[in-house]
């Protein structure tokens, strides 16, 4: 790994924590060898660049957030946690993008998990660009109250960044999932566009009808981009949209734990966080607890697919009337989680092979037994072909 220290500002080392608290075990950047970060470790990165949004530039909260996080007691965690520090806004936003892209590329390539905290959500774009050198197609899930599609003719911004990813050349985006959106905040033509691209979109109400549905979505993602505005104003006073509806704080933590458990997920960004005077400490504590739950899940990873072998799974075959192919499901012996196999044209096999097994849940298997072809299977097959 190349030396990443040139991108970071040193953060103040804090002491005086009790045994077992995160602050007592975290590696401050003054103690880190940026060229030899441990494989399987977690790297905290602060990027307080809000210039492509309506949020005022603010980094005063970072030290208070660090204190809030460091005072939490760690679980039975084995993964090393490193605090790489602050990536200061560059002379231009493009300079910040380049720094984020280069840092995430090096970390993911070295199997170090980056958590990018702060800044506006357009920073998802350089995180996506970081995967270009890895030469693999990827999936992104955005937890967001709205669809930040944007106009291709306009400059990228916090509410218009997805089009830059979709139109990026070369394109290595296989799937995008919008999760937790609120219908009255999204133009129906835009959600139709997602459907036309065979992307996924799930309303906030879909989650509350079936709270476990987010788990297979996160298990299929490489990047999670979490807009803190997806959390309702009563639980997140810093909600920039002043939304009365959204996820509850405890549900945001649940989503983060599922994200941590996903063996496929390799980077995380938490964006649009800039606490104001009202509920300041509560918002800091919420963000800290969300990250705590992610780290908890990360330390409970089972090394299922795509890391593990299919030979360790129980295989189920389901025949559906008037359908020429049988649907093949796999259940992990390690975690009892489910996947289904989707065939693909052989000519595309090398590029898209990692999408052969699609995470699903037991309900998809039950539906297939009831002669109902799973929508997820059909959407994936259409993308592959």
pLDDT value at residue 355? 52
Q: How far apart are CA 352 and CA 135, in angstroms?
A: 11
The CATH architecture of the domain made up of 5-298 is: 3-Layer(aba) Sandwich (3.40)
Q: What is the pLDDT of residues 7-64, one digit of tens each?
A: 998 877 888 899 999 999 999 888 788 888 999 999 999 999 999 999 988 888 999 9
Q: How far apart are CA 117 and CA 287, in angstroms?
A: 9
How many Cβ atoms sit within 10 Å of the Cβ of residue 339?
A: 25
Q: What is the pLDDT of residues 185-212, one digit of tens each?
A: 999 999 999 999 999 999 999 999 999 9
With contact defined as beta carbons under 8 Å apart, do 49 and 96 qualify?
Answer: yes
Decide if pLDDT at 337 tops 90. Answer: yes
pLDDT value at residue 2? 84
For the ranges 121-130, 134-143, 339-348, 363-372, the maximum mean pLDDT occurs at 121-130
Q: What is the pLDDT of residues 155-191, one digit of tens each?
A: 999 999 999 999 999 999 999 999 999 999 999 999 9
Stronger pLDDT, 296 or 344, i.e. the higher one: 296
pLDDT value at residue 183? 97
**Lowest-confidence pick of 134-148, 211-225, 230-244, 307-321:** 307-321
What's the rounded mean pLDDT across residues 90-115?
96
Decide if pLDDT at 313 tops 80. Answer: yes
Cα angle: 359, vertex 365, 371; to 5 degrees = 130
**Residue 322 pLDDT class (50, 70, 90 cuts):** confident
pLDDT value at residue 350? 44
Q: How far apart are CA 41 and CA 78, in angstroms?
A: 9
**Lowest-confidence pick of 102-106, 172-176, 379-383:** 379-383
Torsion angle, alpha carbons of 337, 117, 126, 82, to 10: -80
pLDDT value at residue 346? 59
Q: How far apart are CA 239 and CA 270, in angstroms?
A: 13
Strands (E), the chain: 42-46, 81-86, 113-117, 138-143, 173-181, 200-203, 223-227, 267-271, 313-318, 327-332, 338-341, 357-360
**Residue 380 pLDDT class (50, 70, 90 cuts):** confident
Break the chain into its structural domains and give their ranges: 5-298, 310-384
Decide if pLDDT at 75 tops 90. Answer: yes
Residues with Cβ within 8 Å of 86's Cβ and at least 6 positions away in sequence, in order, are 8, 9, 11, 46, 47, 48, 59, 62
pLDDT value at residue 349? 46
Instruction: Report which DSSP code applies to 153.
Output: T
pLDDT value at residue 179? 98
**Residue 334 pLDDT class (50, 70, 90 cuts):** confident
pLDDT value at residue 51? 96
Element (H, E) at 64: helix 61-70
């Amino acid at each position: 790994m190349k030396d990443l220290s040139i991108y970071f500002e040193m953060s103040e080392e804090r002491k005086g924590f009790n045994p077992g608290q995160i602050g007592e075990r975290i590696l401050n950047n003054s103690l880190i060898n940026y060229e030899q970060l441990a494989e399987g470790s977690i790297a905290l990165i602060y990027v307080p660049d809000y210039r492509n949004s309506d949020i005022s530039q603010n980094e005063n909260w970072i030290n208070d957030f660090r204190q809030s996080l460091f005072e939490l007691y760690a679980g039975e965690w084995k993964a090393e946690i490193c605090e790489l520090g602050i990536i200061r806004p560059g002379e231009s936003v493009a300079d910040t993008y380049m720094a984020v892209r280069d840092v995430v590329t090096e970390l993911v390539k070295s199997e170090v998990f980056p958590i990018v905290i702060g800044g506006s959500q357009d920073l998802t774009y350089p995180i996506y660009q970081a995967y270009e050198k890895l030469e693999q197609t990827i999936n992104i899930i955005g937890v967001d109250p709205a669809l930040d599609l944007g106009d291709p003719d306009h400059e990228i911004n916090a509410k218009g960044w997805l089009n830059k990813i979709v139109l990026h050349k070369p394109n290595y985006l296989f799937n995008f999932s919008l999760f937790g959106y609120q219908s009255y905040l999204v133009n129906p033509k835009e959600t139709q566009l997602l459907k036309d691209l065979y992307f996924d979109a799930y309303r906030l109400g879909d989650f509350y009808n079936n709270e476990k549905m987010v788990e297979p979505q996160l298990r299929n993602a490489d990047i999670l981009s979490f807009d803190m505005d997806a959390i309702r104003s009563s639980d997140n006073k810093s909600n920039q949209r002043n939304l009365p509806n959204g996820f509850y704080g405890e549900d945001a933590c649940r989503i983060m734990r599922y994200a941590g458990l996903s063996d496929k997920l390799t980077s995380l960004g938490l964006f649009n966080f800039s606490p104001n005077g009202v509920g300041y400490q509560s918002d800091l504590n919420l963000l800290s607890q969300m990250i705590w739950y992610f780290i908890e899940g990360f330390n409970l990873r089972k090394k299922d697919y795509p890391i593990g072998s299919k030979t360790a799974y129980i295989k189920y075959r389901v025949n559906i009337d008037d359908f020429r192919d049988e649907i093949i499901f796999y259940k992990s012996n390690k975690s009892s989680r489910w996947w289904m196999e989707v065939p693909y044209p052989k000519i595309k096999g090398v590029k898209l092979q990692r999408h052969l097994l699609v995470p699903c849940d037991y309900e998809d298997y039950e539906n297939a037994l009831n002669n109902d072809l799973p929508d997820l299977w059909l959407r994936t097959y259409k993308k592959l072909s």
